């Protein structure tokens, strides 16, 4: 990491030589809002983009991570050093809205990208980044950057890639400083679907790929605040017929479809900002008595709808190794997480019970409404990427719908 003088207008090979920097010109920079400049080699798309810098500790699944809509507006620092070595393919994309891409602004890597070495690879990672318009910075001490994030929190930054190594550093610093904070941003509208559609694809099986659901006993309406494909696959595998609706869908529009249950999806941004239009509709859905299941942003907005509050986290939770305790079973599961906001448990009313807790920092990781088939978790039970300890939650949702159907048929 290098602190450059504020009056530097450009970084060039000659400028570095006179300042005693490395002889080889950096072709990419990460310029943090506090003035810190991190140099490296560029990969992927050329240009510059602004976003909030976070770190992800997962050792696998970088393609799924980079296409997760929950990362909209962020620059991901991968703590695992070998990113890109298995290439990319068309199956491991998580965003359901291909027109909106995923919204991720860039990524920071320890080592340079190598040629792929995996039988499923159909494209090199560098070419895949270029095709998706994602800027990458390689050759960075990601341990030091992760330490900085842990100390200062998730800072805004500009990631820039210029093959000729010439940058207007003052302009990049101004752009980083002017980047809007994640607090108060509604990003769900940028990644949600434009219109409703149906889904029946089931989970991936070795040798067979993805399957198709058959006759389904339950109809679930999923509200897309930034849906991941594997969530839909897990629901379809559990026996659900799925209708996906945009984030702005009203409760009346959803109930007209006569679902057996409603799913509140993950997504990016500040839950309070998206909640301006989403929370009133979630309240109506809770009052309807239908089974309701939410994750991530959906969990946070359910917490708001039930009378709680949310808060911005210092460094967030991003990784596939987060231990969570389920109070309903007294078991500990290893989970996949990706969030920068959390529900404040102390703000929840007595009608709401905390069901899960993070064993990393004690933050809330799940809740349910007493006496109603309404529950949610902060983490990602679909685990793409990540462990499969939490798949039982989709079965728990199906059980709620089964019980509700049995009551209605009596």
Catalytically annotated residues? 296, 380, 382
The DSSP secondary-structure symbol of 123 reads B
* Cα 89 off chain centre by: 20
What whole-number distance in Å separates Cα of residue 410 and Cα of residue 407?
A: 5
- Distances in Å between the Cα of 127 and the Cα atoms of 267, 308, 406 are 26, 44, 52
What whole-number distance in Å separates Cα of residue 81 and Cα of residue 38?
A: 17
CB within 8 Å of 24: residues ≥ 6 apart: none
Q: What is the chain's percent helix, strand, coil content, to nearest 5? A: 30, 30, 40
Helix, strand, or coil (residue 321): strand
The C-alpha torsion from 35 through 40 and 43 to 47, rounded to 10°, is 30
Helices (H), 49-118: 62-66
Helix (H) / strand (E) element for 317: namely strand 310-326
Q: Is 99 left (phi over 0), alpha (psi -120 to 50) or beta?
A: alpha
Q: State yes or no: cis peptide before 385, omega within 30 of 0.
A: yes
Closest-CA residue to 30 (of 174, 173, 181, 180): 173
Helices (H), 51-168: 62-66, 125-132, 142-152
- Cβ-contact 154, 120 below 8 angstroms: no
What whole-number distance in Å separates Cα of residue 410 and Cα of residue 396?
A: 21
Closest-CA residue to 248 (of 191, 308, 306, 182): 191
């Amino acid at each position: 990491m290098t602190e450059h003088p504020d009056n530097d207008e450009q970084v060039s090979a000659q400028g570095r030589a006179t300042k005693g920097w490395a002889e080889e010109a950096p072709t990419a920079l990460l310029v943090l809002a506090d003035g810190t400049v991190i140099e490296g080699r560029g990969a992927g798309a050329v240009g510059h983009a602004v976003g909030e810098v976070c770190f992800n500790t997962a050792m696998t699944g970088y393609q799924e991570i980079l296409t997760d809509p929950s990362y909209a507006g962020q620059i991901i620092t991968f703590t695992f050093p070998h990113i890109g070595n298995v290439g990319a393919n068309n199956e491991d994309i998580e965003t359901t809205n291909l027109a909106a891409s995923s919204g991720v602004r860039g990524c920071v890597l320890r080592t340079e990208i190598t040629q792929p070495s995996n039988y499923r690879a159909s494209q090199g990672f560098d070419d895949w980044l270029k095709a998706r318009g994602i800027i990458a910075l390689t050759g960075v001490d990601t341990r030091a950057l992760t330490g900085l994030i842990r100390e200062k929190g998730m800072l805004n930054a500009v990631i820039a890639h210029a093959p000729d190594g010439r940058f207007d550093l003052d302009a990049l610093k101004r752009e980083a400083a002017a980047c809007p904070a994640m607090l108060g941003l509604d990003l769900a509208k940028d990644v949600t679907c434009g219109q409703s559609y149906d889904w029946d694809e089931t989970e991936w099986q070795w040798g067979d790929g993805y399957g198709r659901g058959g006759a389904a006993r339950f109809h679930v309406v999923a509200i897309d605040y930034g849906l991941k494909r594997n969530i839909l696959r897990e629901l379809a595998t559990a026996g659900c017929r799925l209708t996906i609706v945009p984030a702005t869908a009203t409760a009346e529009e959803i109930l007209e479809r006569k679902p057996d249950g409603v799913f509140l999806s993950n997504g990016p941004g500040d839950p309070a900002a998206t909640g301006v239009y989403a929370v009133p509709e979630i309240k109506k859905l809770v009052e309807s008595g239908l089974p309701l299941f939410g994750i991530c942003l959906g969990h946070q907005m359910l917490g708001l709808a039930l009378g709680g509050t949310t808060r911005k986290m210092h460094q967030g939770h991003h990784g596939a190794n987060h231990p969570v305790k389920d109070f309903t079973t007294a078991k500990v599961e290893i989970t996949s997480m990706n969030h920068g906001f959390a529900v404040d448990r102390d703000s929840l009313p007595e009608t709401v019970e905390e069901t899960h807790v993070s064993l990393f920092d004690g933050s809330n990781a799940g809740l349910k409404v007493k006496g109603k088939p309404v529950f949610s978790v902060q983490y990602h039970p679909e685990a793409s990427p990540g462990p499969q300890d939490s798949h039982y939650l989709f079965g728990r949702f199906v059980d709620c719908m089964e019980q509700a159907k049995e009551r209605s048929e009596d």
